Amino acid sequence: MIQIGAKGTLKRLDEMLESAMNGTFDETSYDETELSRLESRWKQYFTAQGQLVGQVKKERENIRTLVSDISHQTKTPLANILLYAELLDEKAENEEEKMLAGQIVRQTEKLQFLLQSLVKMSRLETGILELSPADGEIAPMIRETAASLQKRAEAKNICLDCELEERVRCRFDRKWTSEALGNIIDNAVKYSPEESRITIRIRKYEFYACIEVEDQGPGIAEEERAQIFGRFYRGKQMRQEEGVGIGLYLAREILEKEEGYIKVSSADGTGSRFSIYLPISQESAGYPGSEI
């Protein structure tokens, strides 16, 4: 029986690891040496791992199909319910009938929002949805997102004040970063008192651009700050407001997929400041800034 020296053993182990990482590992001719037995065990392990990966891919594809079916099958019925509720509102003969029709509209819109949020959450968690970050100026995206929520703010006489440095560039997926930022601004509008102010600003640091959303709302108690980014979590003071507790969770998931992050600073009764951090683009990384 040929004995392989220590150098030959290390070389063979290196070859085994290399082929395993490339997905081409195969057992060489079997004999009674310890190295050959190790090869045989590795072959069994990688075969089992390959089967597991295949099973995970199949389950992910099943989830993709289920999510697509849910989205497709619920879209038309909900749109029809909204249409009929609006017709009822138009034909209402008294205030009570108008109130009931309005309730149908609001609850249907809430259900639509919940289903859309669940679909987005499912796609993010299962990896079905892939973000495509690219270098670009971030101020235009912030303005566009704030403008989409302007009417909601005006309904409560809330001032949306954008203090933006024009030439800040970072890596982000425009559509999904706007989704994350929109969720944060929407929460600020929802929970802020009438005739208050929400300030949105950009700060530039050495490695990150920071978007701050600062409100004059009720604030967040210290014991709740670690929980607000969890799925379906709603703060004790916020439960009287309509909502499902998914917005901040989605924002965190989106930012993590962009190699960014989010944090909050607040105190009970003194307003909140949410800070979104996104990687600075390479071409502007040398810009002098503060330290985080």
Q: Are residues 165 and 276 in the same domain?
A: yes
pLDDT at 262: 93
For residues 50-87, b (16+ Cβ closer than 10 Å) or e, as one string? eeeeeeeeeeeeebbeebeeebeeeeeeeeebbeebee
Q: Which has the minimum average pLDDT: 36-40, 118-122, 150-154?
A: 36-40
Residue 111 lies in a domain: yes
Domain termination site, one of 66, 97, 129: 129
- Identify the residue whose tokens are 């960014």: 260
Which candidate, 246, 254, 253, 251, places its Cα nearest to that of 132?
254
Which candidate, 53, 43, 98, 105, places its Cα nearest to that of 78?
105
Strands (E), 106-232: 134-137, 159-163, 169-172, 197-204, 208-214
Mean pLDDT in residue range 134-162: 93
User: Residue 290: pLDDT band by 50, 70, 90 thresholds?
Assistant: very low
Instruction: Please state, in angstroms and rounded to a whole number, the distance separating the CA atoms of residues 219 and 268.
Output: 5
pLDDT digits (tens, 9 = 90+) for 214-266: 998 888 877 787 788 877 666 655 555 555 678 888 899 899 989 999 999 98
Residue 289 lies in a domain: no
Q: Which has the minimum average pLDDT: 31-40, 251-260, 278-287?
A: 31-40
Q: Are residues 144 and 237 in the same domain?
A: yes
- The token pair that represents 12 in the structure block: 């063979």
The CA–CA distances, whole Å, from 180 to 111, 134, 206, 277 equal: 20, 16, 23, 12
Q: How many domains does the chain have?
A: 2
pLDDT at 246: 80
Instruction: Please state, in angstroms and rounded to a whole number, the distance separating the CA atoms of residues 251 and 192.
Output: 19
Domain termination site, one of 105, 129, 153: 129
Task: State the distance between the two ends of the chain, measured CA to CA, in whole angstroms.
Answer: 63
pLDDT at 140: 93
Q: Are residues 49 and 140 in the same domain?
A: no
